[in-house]
């Protein structure tokens, strides 16, 4: 059987081909294909329920895909390599998946900091346990990372003592501690009070300036306009259209893109 789509691009940092994800009878992702090159910043937008968050979660195998292929650095994250690319995905062993997730950073909408650890330990724990970095060295790196997100003075605070914006900045530092080559952001500012959005966006922009490869699901069109190389519009579990942010915002090819972008601009 011939693969319907062209094979995934092994030279891209992330390459997805014909990704299908079902929750029961509902097809949440309906054949999504996307390539992200090194140092590229891609912002994904779309109405709620369009599958953008599910797609992001599939990229580091927090969700299993039912069909298609996702390669990160030329390798599947949660599945055995498939010679033809058309047979159904076979789940890898959890240890292998864990190993392959190491260089993919993920930032959650609700931060998901570890409440029993201080900010410093939240950042230092994964390098210590996963990479085997000596504790003193990991803590030193963690202190530097906290300083980088402007929270050097909060190292000994528990997450419960931090504001939402501060928690999300710690969460970004925690992901960076694993020295990822790809950062995934799942609506990083939607759980924040409006006055805290700016501090998180500022940290993300610094990452962009440092040349980080990023895929960001967000409704922050200001960030998309100033920082994104590409804007991708999701609709009904598929990519409706994509292109430079300025073009999509001013001259979209689809009526639905135009209507959606106008709606979130009015809201924001």
Partner 1 sequence: MTHATVLAEAGQPAGFDWPFFWHYLFSPSGVFLDGLWRTVYISVIAQLLGVLLGFAVALAQRSRFAPLRWGGRTYVWLIRGTPLLVQLVLVYNGLAAAGVYRFADLQVGGLVFLGVVQAAILTLAVNEAAYMAEIFRAALDAIDPGQAEAAQALGMTPAMTMRVVLLPQAIRIIVPPLGNEFNLMMKSTSLLSVIGLQEMFLTAQSINSATFKTFEIFLVVACYYLALTTVWSFVQRFIERRLADPGQVIAAPSLRERFAGGGPGRSTTGREDSPLVGKEAH
Q: How far is the CB of 84 from partner 1 (least distance, A)?
A: 27
Q: How far is the CB of 170 from partner 1 (least distance, A)?
A: 12
Between residues 78 and 252, which has the closer beta carbon with respect to partner 1? 78
Interatomic CA distance for residues 159 and 256, integer angstroms:
40
Q: What is the maximum span of the chain, computed from C-alpha positions, in angstroms?
A: 59
Q: How far is the CB of 133 from partner 1 (least distance, A)?
A: 12
Between residues 101 and 230, which has the closer beta carbon with respect to partner 1? 101
Q: How far is the CB of 168 from partner 1 (least distance, A)?
A: 12
List residues near partner 1 by CB under 8 A. 60, 62, 94-95, 97-99, 101-102, 104-106, 108, 110, 112-116, 125-126, 129-130, 157-158, 160-161, 171, 174-175, 178
Between residues 16 and 175, which has the closer beta carbon with respect to partner 1? 175
Q: How far is the CB of 52 from partner 1 (least distance, A)?
A: 17
Interatomic CA distance for residues 20 and 18, integer angstroms:
6
Q: How far is the CB of 203 from partner 1 (least distance, A)?
A: 18
Question: Where are the alpha helices (H) located in the chain, listed in sequence order?
Answer: 52-59, 94-101, 119-126, 135-148, 164-176, 194-209, 221-227, 245-250, 255-267
Between residues 142 and 248, which has the closer beta carbon with respect to partner 1? 142
Between residues 174 and 219, which has the closer beta carbon with respect to partner 1? 174
Between residues 57 and 230, which has the closer beta carbon with respect to partner 1? 57
Q: Which residues lie below 8 Å from residue 228, measured CB to CB, with a gap of 6+?
A: 41, 42, 43, 216, 245
Between residues 178 and 240, which has the closer beta carbon with respect to partner 1? 178
- State both tokens at 98: 């864990």
Between residues 112 and 143, which has the closer beta carbon with respect to partner 1? 112
Per-residue HEC secondary structure of 14-59 comes to EEEEEEEEEECCEEEEEEEEEEECCCCEEEEECCCCCCHHHHHHHH
Q: How far is the CB of 130 from partner 1 (least distance, A)?
A: 5
Q: Contact 237/44 with Cβ under 8 angstroms?
A: no
* Strand, helix or coil for residue 234: strand
Evaluated on CA atoms 204, 47, 113, 76, the torsion sign reads: negative
Q: How far is the CB of 107 from partner 1 (least distance, A)?
A: 9
State how beta strands 214-217 and 230-235 pair.
Answer: unpaired
* Strand, helix or coil for residue 183: strand
- State both tokens at 233: 């519009």
């Amino acid at each position: 059987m011939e693969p319907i789509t062209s094979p995934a691009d092994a030279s891209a940092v992330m390459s997805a081909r014909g990704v299908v994800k079902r929750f029961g009878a509902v097809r949440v992702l309906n054949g999504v294909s996307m390539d992200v090159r090194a140092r590229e910043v891609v912002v994904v937008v779309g109405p709620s329920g369009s599958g953008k968050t599910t797609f992001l979660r599939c990229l580091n195998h927090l969700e299993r895909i039912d069909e298609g292929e996702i390669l990160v650095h030329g390798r599947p994250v949660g599945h055995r390599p498939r010679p033809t690319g058309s047979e159904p995905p076979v789940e890898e062993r959890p240890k292998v998946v864990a190993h392959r997730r190491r260089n993919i950073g993920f930032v959650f909408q609700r931060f998901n900091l570890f409440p029993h650890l201080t900010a410093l330990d939240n950042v230092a724990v994964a390098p210590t346990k996963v990479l085997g970095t000596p504790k003193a060295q990991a803590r030193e790196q963690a202190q530097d990372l906290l300083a980088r997100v402007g929270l050097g003075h909060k190292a000994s605070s528990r997450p419960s003592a931090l504001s939402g914006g501060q928690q999300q900045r710690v969460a970004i530092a925690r992901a960076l501690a694993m020295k990822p080559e790809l950062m995934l952001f799942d609506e990083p500012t939607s759980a924040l009070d409006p006055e805290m959005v700016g501090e998180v966006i500022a940290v993300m922009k610094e990452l962009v300036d440092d040349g980080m490869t990023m895929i960001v699901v967000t409704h922050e069109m200001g960030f998309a306009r100033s920082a994104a190389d590409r804007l991708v519009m999701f609709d009904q579990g598929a990519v409706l259209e994509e292109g430079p942010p300025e073009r999509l915002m001013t001259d979209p090819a689809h009526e639905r893109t135009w209507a959606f972008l106008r709606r979130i601009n009015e809201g924001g």
